[in-house]
């Protein structure tokens, strides 16, 4: 690929991030900040692509830019949280859930502080930027930390609801795992009712032959796969397991008993991620069912446009359907 093409793709990516209405963290925090003076927000020189600038413009005295010092930013957030603040920290997941893991563990999780870590551009969303910018280990890293809640919302509407709940009713550290803001919406914004609650899975489609349990952007792809599988005569239940820790074990066990087969799908290494968490629940319950994890099979992603990478790794709707079909008929 020539340099001109690379720069063009890079520019289009940044334009889409700045114009996106689905990266809603800053917008949501700006609304909450009016009635919650304890909220502070921090960025590591990425306030525009992470949309924290929406909060910063509204409350400049409560917004802090740390430059390229992610580890210091996490420790500073812990310091503010120790004084009664609810600190929101956001940067790319590769620089937060991976690079700053030691600071998260020691300064945030160990003292059980109200720090909300928002890792954006997760999985392979950064495409051409390569392994240093891909985050396919952050679920396993953060869910292994005591006191840490791990959440991977399906879209912007879900993220907004879960952030709001975390401010109003939830204590302790949370790692939010979100994509780059270009995902197709799964939920409609609805002021009348709450569609996403921490620790509660959402069954988006019923089925009797197979349950697909997904998180993040893979929820929408799982729904597409279910449509394709239906045409092949496979009735598929789709579950959005946005809260990976603490997991909705009741929903997992009910799905396993009622469909007899469970396929997990995640934009993450299958080692230690959503699939491993579901497997632990199933194994400890003693329920017998067919089970398969789908994601990255203990490997680093190739480098290229995310659109083609999702196809290559069968993490798009058609790919998930093919994996599910082979799994069911094996």
Structural domain harbouring 64: 3-177
Do the domain assignments include residue 168? yes
Same domain, residue pair 149 and 16 = yes
Do the domain assignments include residue 109? yes
pLDDT in tens, 302-329: 999 999 999 999 999 999 999 999 999 9
Same domain, residue pair 26 and 128 = yes
Q: Of 160, 177, 194, which residue constitutes the final position of a domain?
A: 177
Do the domain assignments include residue 193? no
Same domain, residue pair 170 and 39 = yes
Do the domain assignments include residue 191? no
**Cα dihedral 143, 146, 33, 68 in deg (nearest 10):** -70
Q: Of 144, 177, 210, which residue constitutes the final position of a domain?
A: 177
Same domain, residue pair 120 and 69 = yes
Same domain, residue pair 217 and 124 = no
Same domain, residue pair 217 and 319 = yes
Is residue 230 very low, low, confident or very high in pLDDT (cuts 50, 70, 90)? very high
* pLDDT, greater one: 193 or 112: 112
* pLDDT for res 21: 38
Same domain, residue pair 26 and 165 = yes
Same domain, residue pair 253 and 152 = no
pLDDT in tens, 93-128: 999 999 999 999 999 999 999 999 999 999 999 888
* pLDDT for res 68: 87
Do the domain assignments include residue 114? yes
- Sheet of 39-43: strand order equals 63-65, 39-43, 86-92, 115-120, 174-177, 149-151, 243-245
* pLDDT for res 50: 72
Same domain, residue pair 124 and 249 = no
* pLDDT for res 6: 34
Choose among 83, 79, 113, 115: nearest CA to 97.
115
Same domain, residue pair 164 and 210 = no
pLDDT in tens, 42-98: 998 877 777 788 898 899 999 999 988 999 999 999 999 999 999 999 999 999 999
Do the domain assignments include residue 195? no
Structural domains counted in the chain: 2
57: domain CATH number is: 3.40.50.970
Do the domain assignments include residue 91? yes
Same domain, residue pair 172 and 277 = no
Of 12, 38, 58, 70, which is the active-site residue? 70
* pLDDT for res 192: 73
Same domain, residue pair 156 and 289 = no
Residue 240 has pLDDT above 50, yes or no: yes
Instruction: Compute CA distances 222 → 58, 124, 249, 272, whole Å.
Output: 37, 17, 20, 20
pLDDT in tens, 125-148: 988 888 999 999 999 999 999 999
Is residue 18 very low, low, confident or very high in pLDDT (cuts 50, 70, 90)? very low
Whether 184 sits among the annotated catalytic residues: the reply is: no
313: domain CATH number is: 3.40.50.920
Do the domain assignments include residue 44? yes
Mean pLDDT across 183-191: 83
């Amino acid at each position: 690929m020539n340099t001109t093409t690379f720069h063009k793709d890079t520019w289009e990516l940044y334009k889409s991030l700045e114009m996106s209405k689905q990266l809603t963290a800053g917008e949501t925090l700006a609304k909450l900040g009016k009635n919650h003076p304890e909220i502070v927000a921090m960025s590591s020189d990425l306030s525009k692509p992470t949309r924290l600038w929406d909060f910063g413009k509204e409350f400049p005295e409560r917004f802090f830019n740390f430059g390229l010092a992610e580890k210091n930013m996490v420790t500073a957030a812990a310091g503010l949280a120790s004084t009664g603040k609810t600190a929101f920290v956001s940067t790319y997941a590769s620089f937060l859930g991976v690079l700053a893991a030691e600071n998260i563990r020691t300064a945030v999780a160990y003292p059980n502080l109200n720090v909300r870590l928002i890792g954006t551009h997760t999985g392979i969303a950064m495409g051409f930027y390569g392994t240093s910018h891909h985050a396919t280990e952050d679920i396993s890293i953060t869910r292994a930390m005591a006191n840490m809640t791990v959440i991977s919302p399906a879209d912007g509407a879900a993220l907004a609801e879960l952030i709001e709940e975390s401010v109003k009713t939830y204590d302790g550290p949370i790692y939010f795992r979100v994509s780059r803001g270009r995902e197709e919406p799964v939920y409609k914004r609805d002021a009348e009712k709450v569609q996403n609650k921490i620790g509660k899975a959402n069954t988006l489609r019923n089925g009797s032959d197979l349950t697909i349990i997904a998180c993040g952007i893979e929820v929408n792809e799982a729904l597409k796969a279910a449509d394709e599988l239906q045409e092949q005569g496979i009735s598929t239940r789709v579950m959005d397991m946005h809260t990976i820790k603490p997991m909705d074990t009741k929903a997992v066990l009910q799905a396993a008993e009622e469909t007899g087969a469970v396929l997990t799908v995640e934009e993450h290494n299958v080692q230690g991620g959503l699939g491993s968490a579901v497997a632990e629940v199933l194994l400890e319950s003693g329920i017998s069912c067919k089970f398969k994890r789908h994601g990255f099979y203990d490997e680093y992603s190739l480098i290229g446009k995310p659109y083609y990478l999702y196809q290559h790794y069968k993490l798009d709707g058609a790919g998930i359907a093919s994996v599910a079909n082979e799994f069911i008929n094996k």
